[in-house]
Amino acid sequence: MKDAAGFRFIAFLGLTAGLAGLLFGFDIAIIAGAGPFLLGHFGLGDIALGWAYSSLLFGCIAGAAIAGRLADTFGRRRILLAVAALFALTSAATGLAPSFALFIAARFLGGLAVGGASIIAPMYTAEVSPAALRGRMCAFYQLSITFGILVSYCINYALHDVGPWNWRWMFMSGAIPAAVFIAMILRAPETPRFLCRSGRRDEALALLSRISGAARAAAEIAEIEASLAGRGASWRELRSPGLSRALLVGFVLAILVHCSGINTIIDYAPKIMESAGWGIDAALFSTFVIGITNFLFTLVSFWVIDRHGRRPLYIAGSLGMTAALAALTVVYATKPFEGMTTAGLETTGVVVLGLMMLFIAFFAACIGPVFWTLVPEIFPNRVRGIAMAVPVLTQWGANAVVVLFFPYAFNQIGKAPTFAFLGAMALAQALFTWKFVPETKHKTLEEIEEQWSALADRVQAGNREKNLDAVLFPEAPCAPLIDGPAGRETRGGGPRAGRPVDGVERRPEERR
């Protein structure tokens, strides 16, 4: 891994998976600049506008639901190639859509590609990364997402005044990076873990030698084979004590990561800035500032994710997001935007933009990279493909619902209550992480699997102890006994009859 050729190979693998992230971010965020023009072109109301923004996300749910199983059956590389082709086709179809219904259909199909990429690209990255670099490799994937968002913002601003076809060119430009992704994935290898699953041990060993070095490759392939031993993966297996705990962690984090508001800022930044009194040109330029902030602070995550660990970053990031959203709540609750002067609106808009940048900074440095690193890490090799479908599918579902109803909540329920709800979700995210999320820094995927297995053993041992106690000391449904003048209550029935509830045993003369 330390020689130049090995480093270049690892960099190529990371860049290939990163292109999937770039397309992910591009397709998610391109709607931010196109949305204001769609609103006028198709004559959309609040819910219809939310549907235009969220239709891609509902497609992501379907894509995430099927991608894991397909990746376990056909391999990560083949499904990524199919995803790349779908990215290219749907970018063109969305831009050329002659009606709102066909626009929604094309965005939904594009969501299949984004959902598939969201589950397979992090999986691919985790499985081709050395343990010591996995955090940074996965952070690079997150950086690619933010770079795709930034590229889309730049294209939105560059094309916003080119005429009535401006929003169409915005969407169609996505076919260019999709073509590059197709070319790169054709040169990329399959992952060593899938090769082992498929009985291609020699290919897996050769690939691991290029990734980790010959000395480490033999030990890694032994660990992979041991983790893959036994029967194949099944949904029922996810109900085992250790895996169910891992699944719960992934499921809740997947809900909170979007209910805390990241895509409301990414997608609706122009709308939020317009509500603060800025015109469309300035509002679109503000998305560029937000995109730069997102990109730069994702770079920060490269230097902290493997130094400080996943759990501390997630807690710190969530608390920072909570503070920013609380401040936005106060601004919208106390500022009478309707009666303000132009200078006052400009000043308030700067404050709103600054708080949005603060929110993005905490998310980009602490939350986004950790989420996409942690989710592939916490599941064992044998079930990773199907298990990842649960948190990834869940986060797309939460994302879709939040984005769908944000325009209605923002305009009809109120701006301050909307930001207050998002802030409460960010605080809940910090508390849940503090209580339930384990640390996975500098551990191999097999060591993390052993960590969950040890938890399962402890849970099962505790259950066996409880069951044995129930057999040896059954409690009959008798009325409680009163123990003498002190009035101590005792349990009746079974071998423990007459034993006081406070657990203190007494001599026979004390019980008379």
Could you tell me which of 238, 173, 187 has the C-alpha nearest to residue 8?
187
CA-based end-to-end distance of the chain: 78
> Stretch 180-190: mean pLDDT, rounded?
93
How many other β-carbons are positioned within 10 Å of the β-carbon of residue 401?
Answer: 17
Could you tell me which of 135, 153, 181, 80 has the C-alpha nearest to residue 368?
135
- Of 2-6, 38-42, 45-49, 391-395, give the lowest mean pLDDT range: 2-6
Could you tell me which of 377, 367, 382 has the C-alpha nearest to residue 123?
377
pLDDT tens, 441-486? 656 666 666 766 676 566 566 655 555 455 444 554 444 434 444 4
pLDDT tens, 323-365? 999 999 999 998 766 656 667 677 888 999 999 999 999 999 9
Question: What's the DSSP call for residue 499?
Answer: -
Could you tell me which of 469, 484, 50 has the C-alpha nearest to residue 267?
50
How far is the CA of 187 from the CAs of 10, 12, 81, 346, 437, in angstroms? Answer: 13, 10, 11, 51, 37
Number of separate helices (H) and strands (E) present in the chain: 20, 2
Residue 265 — pLDDT band, cuts 50, 70, 90?
very high
Could you tell me which of 437, 447, 388 has the C-alpha nearest to residue 72?
388
- Of 9-23, 268-282, 391-405, 458-472, give the lowest mean pLDDT range: 458-472
Q: Is 472 exposed, middle or buried (0-12, 13-18, 19+ CB in 10 A)?
A: exposed
Positive or negative, the CA dihedral 392, 295, 26, 71 is negative
> Stretch 365-374: mean pLDDT, rounded?
83
Residue 299 — pLDDT band, cuts 50, 70, 90?
confident
pLDDT at 491: 43
> Stretch 178-198: mean pLDDT, rounded?
92
pLDDT at 448: 66
pLDDT at 289: 93
pLDDT at 356: 96
Residue 372 — pLDDT band, cuts 50, 70, 90?
confident
Give φ, ψ of 224 to 5 degrees.
-65, -45
Q: Which positions ≥6 away from 406 have C-beta within 8 Å?
A: 50, 53, 264, 267, 268, 418
Residues of the chain with CATH 1.20.1250.20: 4-188+240-435+451-458
pLDDT at 218: 83
CA 226 to chain CA mean position, Å: 29
pLDDT at 161: 87
Output 384 or 425, whichever has higher pLDDT.
425
CA 32 to chain CA mean position, Å: 20
Report the alpha-carbon distance of residue 308 to residue 316 in Å, rounded. 11
Which tokens in the block code for residue 119?
């589950």
SS3 content of the chain, % helix, strand, coil (to 5): 80, 0, 20
Identify the residue whose tokens are 């990414």: 266
Number of residues assigned to the chain: 512
**Is this prediction's pTM over 0.85?**
no
How far is the CA of 88 from the CAs of 65, 176, 200, in angstroms? Answer: 21, 7, 32
**Contact at 8 Å (CB) between 144 and 21?**
yes
pLDDT at 483: 45
Instruction: Compute the mean pLDDT over every residue in the chain, rounded to the nearest whole number.
Output: 82
pLDDT at 487: 43
Report the alpha-carbon distance of residue 135 to residue 133 in Å, rounded. 6
pLDDT tens, 196-244? 888 888 888 888 888 887 778 888 888 888 877 755 556 777 777 667 7
Helices (H), 1-133: 4-42, 46-74, 76-96, 100-128
- Of 49-53, 153-157, 203-207, 253-257, give the lowest mean pLDDT range: 203-207
191 pLDDT higher than 80 = yes
Q: Is 483 helix (H, G, I), strand (E, B) or coil?
A: strand
> Stretch 146-159: mean pLDDT, rounded?
92
Report the alpha-carbon distance of residue 245 to residue 458 in Å, rounded. 12
Which tokens in the block code for residue 426?
């960010």
Domain 4-188+240-435+451-458: top CATH class: mainly alpha
Instruction: Report the share of the chain in percent with pLDDT over 90.
Output: 43
pLDDT at 474: 54
Q: What is the dihedral of CA 373, 375, 380, 385, to 10 degrees?
A: -110
pLDDT at 143: 81
**Contact at 8 Å (CB) between 364 and 146?**
yes
pLDDT tens, 69-87? 899 889 999 999 999 999 9
498 pLDDT higher than 50 = no
